Amino acid sequence: MITMSAPGKLMLFGEHAVVFGEPCIVTAVDQRLSVTAEKNSRISINAPQVKETKFVDRAVHAFFSKYSKNSRVRLTISSQFSHQVGFGSSSAVTVATLRALSLFFNVPMSDREIFDVAYHVTLDIQGVGSGFDIAAATYGGSLYFKKGGSTIDPLSLSGIPLVVGYTGVKADTPNLVREVAEKQKKYPEKVNKIFIAIGKLVEEARTRMQAGEWERVGKLMDFNQEYLRDLGVSSEKLEALIGAAKKAGAWGAKLSGAGGGDCMIALAPSDKREAIEKGIAKAGGEVIAVSPNAGGVRVEP
Q: What is the b/e burial string over 21-54, where b = at least 16 CB atoms within 10 angstroms of the residue's CB?
A: ebbbbbbbbebbbbbbbeeeeeeebebeebeebe
Catalytic residue among 30, 116, 133, 262: 133
CA dist 173 to 83, 117, 128, 201, 215, Å?
Answer: 13, 21, 9, 22, 29
We find the least distance from the C-beta atom of residue 237 to ligand PMV, in angstroms, to be: 15
Could you say which of 75, 137, 171, 209 contacts ligand PMV (CB under 6 A)?
171
Lateral strand order in the sheet of 162-166? 252-256, 263-267, 162-166, 286-288
Structural contact between residues 154 and 143, judged by C-beta atoms closer than 8 angstroms: yes
Encoded one letter per residue, x for contact with ligand PMV by CB under 6 A and - for no contact, window 256-275 reads -xx---x-------------
CA dist 135 to 198, 230, 235, Å?
Answer: 20, 27, 27
Task: Single out the segment in contact with ligand PMV by CB under 6 A; choices: 95-103, 112-120, 171-179, 208-216.
Answer: 171-179
Task: Single out the segment in contact with ligand PMV by CB under 6 A; choices: 59-67, 170-178, 183-191, 215-223.
Answer: 170-178
Residue 18 binds ligand PMV, judged by CB under 6 A: yes
Structural contact between residues 19 and 231, judged by C-beta atoms closer than 8 angstroms: no
Query: Scanning residues 93 to 112, which ones bind ligand PMV (CB under 6 A)?
Result: none
Of residues 5 and 91, the one with the C-beta less far from ligand PMV? 91
Q: How far apart are CA 148 and CA 132, in angstroms?
A: 8
Residue 173 binds ligand PMV, judged by CB under 6 A: yes
We find the least distance from the C-beta atom of residue 130 to ligand PMV, in angstroms, to be: 3
Residue 136 binds ligand PMV, judged by CB under 6 A: no
Is 133 a known active-site residue? yes
* Residues in contact with ligand PMV by the rule CB under 6 A: 11, 15-16, 18-19, 86, 88, 129-130, 132-133, 171, 173, 177, 257-258, 262
Which sequence positions are flagged as catalytic? 133
